Structure 1
Amino acid sequence: MEYISVQGLQKPISRLMKGSDYFFHDSYDKAAANLDSFMAIGGNSIDTANIYCGGQSEEVIGRYMQERGNRDQLVILTKGAHHDQNGPRVSEQHIRADITKSFERLQTDFIDLYALHRDDPNVPAGEVIEALNEYVKAGTVGAIGVSNWTWQRIQEANEYAAAHQLAGFSFSSPNLSLAKPNEPFWTGCVSADVETCAWHEKEQLPLFSWSSQARGFFTGRFTPDIRDNADLVRVFYNDDNWERLERAKRLAETKQVTAIQIALAYVLNQPYPTCALIGAQSAEELRSCDEGSLIHLTKNELDWLDLTKDNL
């Protein structure tokens, strides 16, 4: 397992981050077994959120850490300030309510990585920085970041933080995958485009990619004629992505791996620090991710996979 570091947190962070959006109380044994297997390969970072599974995801993780006594071995990334049926919730009041609930559910007094799940461009970025810095100064949050914010808003926030001697955002979690989306998977979500990736390279700001393997697009289960997954059709079905899939298959053959492992390696071989959120729920899926995370891709291979070069 490879690791990265994030400003504000002393622990190393495994580059594979365990997704937990299927952690429910009634399947606790499965979640616990998945986490045990993840830790056995060197994984230590878990992605969750205030809204996942109606709060059960955080509660399951809290129970797991209490039963195993391994809180200090784990890096917890949780998120708050997601919108609700009434609209955006990016405010000091909502941040405070969500993070307080997260502490309770996780049964911890320290959150390693805390991120805002959505943005509200009508709220000055400086207000958000001020609100989150209360927790950084109190020592109850290690590093702060965002999910689904544009790079321009992150830059605005970090310029404010620097000018006021406050902690800025030290990571971002948009979607980044070899398959490029036609539209956001969910309203308000952000995918890393060319400009975003160039900014991350310039700033060397860590990126934690959700849907890092394009929700199974590279598994071989999908073709232009198989259209039974409406969301996948809507988001990822286009001619360029089918070409990317074919190139991933060709490169996989030369390396004696699989196309989905190449897709994972694409995320983890960017010229800036990256982690990949993975949804592995079986030993086979976890093994595939573990092996894929160690594949090295050259810049030429990355460019060819991404259709910016014609020849490998």
Structure 2
Amino acid sequence: MIYGTIPGVAKPVARMVMGVDNQDDLAQAAPLFDDYIERGGNCFDTARIYMRGGCEALFGEYLAKSGARDRIVLIGKGAHTPNCTPEAARSQLEQSLEALRTDRVDIYFLHRDNPQVPVGEFVDVLDALHREGRIGVFGGSNWSLERFRAANDYAKRTGKTGFTVLSNNLALARMIEPVWAGCISARDPEWLRYLEESGTALFAWSSTARGFFTGRGDPSRAAEEAEIARCWHAEDNFERRRRAIALAEAKGTSPVQIAMAWVLSQPFATFALSGPRTLEESRRNVEGLSADLTESERDWLDLKRDQP
């Protein structure tokens, strides 16, 4: 496992983050969680909206039975559309803490933004929850750069705690259409420059483009892989895929691991969200952390130069 540091989070944070959004059976999920921890993983991603709170309840039961709470970094998310209000952020956090059987989450994200709400109202409630000790560092998921900056400008003016973490999409493949309504990528140059200059940590969802760098991303499979085709099929992405395949062959690894390495080799703190369904997938994801890229290889993969 490799780790990153986030100011305000006491523990080093595993850069491969275990998502719990696709788990509904503790008997099947517990071995995945145990194995991830045994391999050095310590960061788990939860959200109130996942299975209408069911995933939080499952993970809360796991924490109670395993006694692992003090060893992990716990991510929570709330206030997803259509309940994206400051009031919902507080009430849903209370529900999340009860389901998770804990009194605090280490990292908290507003799962969506609501531009109809003045950004300062979101900062006010998150700052209050932080001061109450219920959340550690916090930020936005699927937020625009304009609103994210505005949140921090407001926090600075008013002496409040600002946003220090972001959870938008980032992948080697450029997202053509949002995977889900309201999703935002941090892939444009302005976002990338801001992340590097501000020191904001990015928790990237769909960091390997949801299977685009496997056989499922082949153009010939567009009909059977409609979501991948809708979100990722474009000529520039096909060239990125071809280059990932070629570099994987040269390095003796897989295109997925190369795509993951591209995300993790950015010049700012990045953490990749992963939702494996089997032990094999989980172990393959962790093993993929060993793939290293040079700066020139990273730029070549992203079509910024002709040679790696």
Alignment of 1:115-264 (within 5 A): 115-192=109-186, 193-227=188-222, 228-264=224-260
The percent of aligned pairs where both chains have the same amino acid is 42
TM-score by length of 2: 0.96
Contact 1:8 1:170 in 2 (8 A): no
How big is the shift at 1:3? 1.4
- Aligned partner of 1:4 in structure 2 is 4
Quote the Cα distance in structure 2 between the aligned partners of 1:59 and 1:149. 27
How big is the shift at 1:284? 2.3
Quote the Cα distance in structure 1 between the aligned partners of 2:149 and 2:6. 17
Quote the Cα distance in structure 2 between the aligned partners of 1:220 and 1:197. 29
- Aligned partner of 1:292 in structure 2 is 288
What residue identity is the alignment partner of 2:86? E
Quote the Cα distance in structure 2 between the aligned partners of 1:117 and 1:70. 25
SS of 1:126's partner is helix
SS of 1:271's partner is coil
Quote the Cα distance in structure 2 between the aligned partners of 1:33 and 1:291. 17
What residue identity is the alignment partner of 2:203? F
1:158-208 deviations in Å (ceiling 9; x for gaps)? 111122221111100000001111111111110112221111111121000
Contact 1:261 1:292 in 2 (8 A): yes
1:27-82 deviations in Å (ceiling 9; x for gaps)? 21111111001111111101110000121111111000000111101111110010
Verify: 1:72 aligned to 2:75, yes or no: no
1:135-162 deviations in Å (ceiling 9; x for gaps)? 1111121111110001221111111112
How big is the shift at 1:310? 1.4
What residue identity is the alignment partner of 1:78? G
Quote the Cα distance in structure 1 between the aligned partners of 2:254 and 2:107. 32
Q: CA RMSD in A?
A: 1.1
Quote the Cα distance in structure 2 between the aligned partners of 1:146 and 1:270. 20
What residue identity is the alignment partner of 1:31? A
Range with bigger deviation, 2-11 or 262-271: 2-11
How big is the shift at 1:134? 1.1
Range with bigger deviation, 62-71 or 218-227: 218-227
Contact 1:80 1:115 in 2 (8 A): yes
What residue identity is the alignment partner of 1:98? Q
Contact 1:17 1:43 in 2 (8 A): yes
Range with bigger deviation, 122-131 or 56-65: 122-131
Return 5+ residue gaps in structure 1 as ranges: none
How big is the shift at 1:223? 1.2
TM-score by length of 1: 0.95
SS of 1:10's partner is coil
Quote the Cα distance in structure 2 between the aligned partners of 1:119 and 1:295. 34
How big is the shift at 1:2? 1.4
The equivalent position to 1:266 in structure 2, one of 233, 237, 262, is 262
The equivalent position to 2:46 in structure 1, one of 45, 48, 54, is 48
How big is the shift at 1:224? 0.8
Quote the Cα distance in structure 2 between the aligned partners of 1:120 and 1:175. 18
1:95-134 deviations in Å (ceiling 9; x for gaps)? 1121111011101101111110000112121111101111
1:243-262 deviations in Å (ceiling 9; x for gaps)? 11110011111111110000
Quote the Cα distance in structure 2 between the aligned partners of 1:9 and 1:165. 20
The equivalent position to 2:37 in structure 1, one of 22, 39, 43, is 39
